Amino acid sequence: QIAEKGGFPHYMLKEIYDIPSSLISSFSSLMEKYLSLAAMIVYGAKNVYVIGNGTSLHAGFISSYYFSEVGINVNVVSAAEFPYYALQNVSTGSVIIAISQSGETSDVIRSVKMAKLRGAVIVGITNSVGSRLALESNIYLPITAGPELAVPATKTFTSTLVVLRTLSIYTGLNSGKKDRKDINEFKENLEELSKNLLSRLPQMERQAEEVISKVEKESLYITSSGINFPVALEGALKFKEAALTHAEGIQLGELLHGPIALTNKGYPIVIVKPSEAQADDLYNKVIRSVLDRGSPVITVSPEGDIKSLETSRDLSPISNVIPLQLMAYKLGVKRNLPIDTPPGLVKAVVS
Ligand code: AGP
């Protein structure tokens, strides 16, 4: 069985080690003509909704920072809430960017069908060619991360970000906020990140194991700000699935408005250093406040307790999520849990 997992004890760990190569395959599998078409449609849309569930929804949240940078405000909504919150404003001229690794998640398919009936154009992003989402989409952008078998999604999250970032840059060609050299620059940054990750993953894995005793509590906070805030949400989801630990992802600034009260109980706090320099003061203030209350702090950054890789702002969520994935994985291993198949969970929620 270990042989099937490429020598790794679990699919989750194997799939984290697949990330460096899948980042590149995801980028190079995108076809210029479909990207350009999707970008033109997004740019010309009356309104744009990004929908998905779980990890795919978190990738969607990050895309709102990508699209905002090129002058487009998108509404990111859970596919489970979309029918109640957003559908009334969907009509001809609306665009739905629907994200689903499996392409089979019922909430996504249901929302896509409802939006189509109201005249929306669907840009589908999925890892599964021939899935229901691929078939329902007007334009389909593949994730191309390779098969992901562990229930806790890892490499499909990072590859979905590659697809969304590429689409946003192409959208920026229409809005005049980006030009062709930005595509090349993104490609170069991605290649560098992939190369560095390949050599640094074993070290990250060791660091994750070392800090695990600090987060081994009944509950923990994961926090960040800016483009890395959704990374905190995603890290918390990984702790729930792989380590069966309650974890809450929270915005750095919001922590001071109540949740910090619980750090008196010794709840640990994992802080992903924001990429935006404007958040530096807040970052330092939160660390001081939490330490003053006697709670453990684990920082994730290129200089942190667990070191992510130095990279561009748009790629920082990829660099920062990996240490969180590894920490959740290591805690699951320590607790001897069925990491790839957490109790009561399935890979795709189809009904
Ligand atoms: C991620 O680790 C979870 N297994 C889950 O939240 C998942 O992302 C969600 O069910 C959506 O799945 P999909 O991307 O296949 O639609």
Judge contact between 187 and 285, C-beta under 8 A. no
SS (H, E, C) 32-49: HHHHHHHHHHHHCCCEEE
How far apart, in whole angstroms, are the C-alpha atoms of residue 210 and residue 231? Answer: 21
pLDDT tens by residue, the chain, 351 residues: 565 788 999 999 999 999 999 999 999 999 999 999 999 999 999 999 999 999 999 999 999 999 999 999 999 999 999 999 889 999 999 999 999 999 999 999 999 999 999 999 999 999 999 999 999 999 999 999 999 999 999 999 999 999 999 999 999 999 999 999 999 999 999 999 999 999 999 999 999 999 998 888 889 999 999 999 999 999 999 999 999 999 999 999 999 898 888 877 778 899 999 999 999 999 999 999 888 888 899 999 999 999 999 999 999 999 999 999 999 999 999 999 999 999 889 899 997
What is the DSSP-derived secondary structure letter of residue 339?
A: T
pLDDT at 263: 79
ipTM: 0.99
Ligand 1 centroid from CA 231, angstroms:
15
What pTM value is reported for the model? Answer: 0.97
Q: State the sign of the Cα–Cα–Cα–Cα dihedral 138, 144, 149, 150.
A: negative
How far apart, in whole angstroms, are the C-alpha atoms of residue 313 and residue 149? Answer: 29
Q: What burial letters (b/e) apply to 165-178, b meaning 16+ CB within 10 Å?
A: bbbbbbbbbbbeeb
Does ligand 1 come within 6 angstroms of the Cβ of 128? Answer: no
Ligand 1 atom closest to the Cα of residue 151 is 4
Nearest CA to ligand 1 atom 6: 54
pLDDT at 223: 97
Does ligand 1 come within 6 angstroms of the Cβ of 101? Answer: yes
Ligand 1 atom closest to the Cα of residue 241 is 2
Nearest CA to ligand 1 atom 2: 152
The best mutation among 78, 97, 99, 105 to test binding of ligand 1, ranked by most ligand atoms within 8 Å of the C-beta, falls on: 105
